[in-house]
Amino acid sequence: MKLPDVEGWLTQAEGDLLARCCEEAPSGAIVELGSYVGLSTIVMARTGRFIHSIDPHEGTMHDPPIYPPSWDKFKNNLWLHDVHRQVIAIRACSTEVRWHSPIAFLYIDAEHTYAAAKADYEHFAPYLMEGSLVGFHDYGEPGCPGITRYVDEELSHLSMVALADHLIVLRGK
Ligand SMILES: C[S@@+](CC[C@H](N)C(=O)[O-])C[C@H]1O[C@@H](n2cnc3c(N)ncnc32)[C@H](O)[C@@H]1O
């Protein structure tokens, strides 16, 4: 399906792969880390699955901040694209969330350092269910070397399911 007209960084091929992951993931939670104004959230929610979308939306997490506050635009975009009922928005930093349920698809696109990718993955990995998928955006992107290094160095034991532009999807378990 064509990408919605929403600000963001996804390519069409990445959007198609994200939607496919939601469609093919087993029954269980779909968790997105980093939603900004909702482009990837909308792409995933349009599949009819419920999306747990985790982002503080404060735009103040970095010094200097690189994202402006995004909550109002995020909420508005979900309404405009009629997916607000499909999205459970959690306004928090990824590692502050006390997660409990089995995860079918974990999509990581939050802070793009090696340390943050590691912290994000390790915080949620215990909940990945059999047959689950894990996606990292900006894999292989020259501006985000920490993502590529983390996936290559620490997750090489996971099998790769697909790669589209800079979205890599691995089998979680
Ligand atoms: C690249 S943007 C996400 C883009 C979005 N996935 C899309 O495709 O439109 C990164 C977002 O991650 C959020 N973020 C940064 N650190 C985070 C963290 N520790 N936990 C959750 N969200 C975080 C920022 O607030 C920002 O909105």
| Mutate which of 11, 58, 67 for ligand 1 pocket (most atoms within 8 A of beta carbon) | 67
Percent of the chain at pLDDT exceeding 90: 94
Structurally, the chain folds into a number of domains equal to 1
| pLDDT per residue as tens digits for the range 145-162 | 999 999 999 999 999 999
Quick check: 57 pLDDT over 60?
yes
Is residue 150 included in any domain, yes or no?
yes
Quick check: 63 pLDDT over 60?
no
Quick check: 65 pLDDT over 70?
no
pLDDT class of 62 with cuts at 50, 70, 90: low
Is residue 131 included in any domain, yes or no?
yes
Residue scoring higher pLDDT (64 or 140): 140
Quick check: 72 pLDDT over 60?
yes
**Rg of the chain (C-alpha set):** 15
CA of 173 to the centre of ligand 1 (A): 25
Q: Kindly provide the residue ranges of all beta strands, DSSP E only, lying in the chain, ordered along the sequence.
A: 29-33, 51-54, 87-90, 103-108, 128-137, 160-164, 167-171
Quick check: 38 pLDDT over 80?
yes
Percent of the chain at pLDDT exceeding 70: 97
Is residue 6 included in any domain, yes or no?
no
Nearest Cα to Cα of residue 18 among 57, 38, 47: 47
Is residue 25 included in any domain, yes or no?
yes
Is residue 3 included in any domain, yes or no?
no
| Mutate which of 61, 81, 97 for ligand 1 pocket (most atoms within 8 A of beta carbon) | 61
Quick check: 84 pLDDT over 90?
yes
Is residue 49 included in any domain, yes or no?
yes
- Angle of CA points 139, 146, 49, to nearest 5°: 45
Please indicate whether residue 28, judged by its CB atom, sits closer than 6 Å to ligand 1.
Answer: no
Is residue 130 included in any domain, yes or no?
yes
Question: Which amino acid residue places its CA nearest to atom 18 of ligand 1?
Answer: 93
Question: Which amino acid residue places its CA nearest to atom 19 of ligand 1?
Answer: 93
Which domain covers residue 46, as residue numbers? 12-171
Q: What's the 3-state SS for 57-102?
A: CCCCCCCCCCCCCCHHHHHHHHHHCCCHHHEEEECCCHHHCCCCCC
Quick check: 35 pLDDT over 80?
yes
State the CATH number of the domain containing residue 39: 3.40.50.150
Which residues have C-beta within 8 Å of that of residue 96, sequence separation ≥ 6?
A: none
CA distance from start to end of the chain: 28
CA of 116 to the centre of ligand 1 (A): 11
Is residue 80 included in any domain, yes or no?
yes
Average pLDDT, the chain: 96
Q: How are beta strands 103-108 and 128-137 bridged, if at all?
A: parallel
Question: Which amino acid residue places its CA nearest to atom 6 of ligand 1?
Answer: 35
Q: Please, what's the largest Cα pairwise distance for the chain?
A: 41
Residue scoring higher pLDDT (67 or 165): 165
What separation in angstroms does the CA of 81 have from each of 42, 97, 100, 132, 135?
7, 27, 29, 27, 23
CA of 70 to the centre of ligand 1 (A): 10
